[in-house]
Amino acid sequence: MMIVIMLILSYLIGAIPSGLVIGKLFFKKDIRQYGSGNTGATNSFRVLGKPAGFVVTFLDIFKGFIVVFLPLWLPVHSSGPISEFFTNGLIVGVFSIIGHVYPIYLGFRGGKAVATSAGVVLGTHPILLLTLAIIFFFILYLTKYVSLSSIIAAICCIIGAIFIGNYILLGMSIVVGIILIIRHRTNIVRIIKGEEPKIKWM
């Protein structure tokens, strides 16, 4: 029972729409009505500005980071392979990522999971996240495309999981990578057509 509560709690934390909350509280804007209509960090930068964008990014990362420690804080008395699997920080983190992408609070229409996924990796494999962050910002510097940088970083996370030899991380990376590519499919089309807007806030 405690495992179910923990996974639901992780989902509900991940589903908190940071961009929407910050936009409405401090700017009286529904961020879904501007820019790409996305509630994530990138659209927050474009619509609300740099300071708000950094705050939303931090909050979205924190959502993924904090939930990986739920197994340490919530007592799970059952044992066995199933219990060990679902109390793994990575698995718990996946539920926060799902919550971010499909939030119950917003009719299951949320962000694209980049920052929240980064938080999960930060809480479980910080060295890997540092490597992925370097790759992300290097590609971003070269192309100015956040979407392309996110996709490449997600692919590199899969490769990193193979090198580390952590198959739970590999499975999570593949699932998140698929979600991320699906959520960025319109961005991919615009990049191919040369219509994807480049960032101006670097």
176, 113 Cβ separation under 8 angstroms: yes
38, 106 Cβ separation under 8 angstroms: no
pLDDT tens-place string over residues 83-141: 777 788 999 999 999 999 999 999 998 888 899 999 999 999 999 999 999 999 999 99
Whose tokens are 């920052």? That residue is: 115
Taking the C-alpha atoms of residue 185 and residue 138, their distance in angstroms, rounded to an integer, is: 22
Taking the C-alpha atoms of residue 61 and residue 174, their distance in angstroms, rounded to an integer, is: 19
45, 55 Cβ separation under 8 angstroms: no
Q: What is the pTM of this model?
A: 0.90
177, 118 Cβ separation under 8 angstroms: no
Q: Which of 4-18, 71-85, 113-127 is predicted with the least confidence, judged by mean pLDDT?
A: 71-85
Q: Residue 176 burial by CB count (10 A; 0-12/13-18/19+): exposed, middle or buried?
A: buried
pLDDT tens-place string over residues 132-162: 999 999 999 999 999 999 999 999 999 999 9
Predicted pLDDT at 30: 92
pLDDT tens-place string over residues 175-197: 989 988 988 888 899 999 888 88
Q: State yes or no: pLDDT of 64 exceeds 70.
A: yes
Q: Nearest 5°: phi and psi at 12?
A: -65, -35
Q: State yes or no: pLDDT of 81 exceeds 90.
A: no
Q: Residue 80 burial by CB count (10 A; 0-12/13-18/19+): exposed, middle or buried?
A: exposed
Q: For the chain, which residues make up each domain, given as ranges? A: 2-193
**Structure tokens of 108?**
């299951």
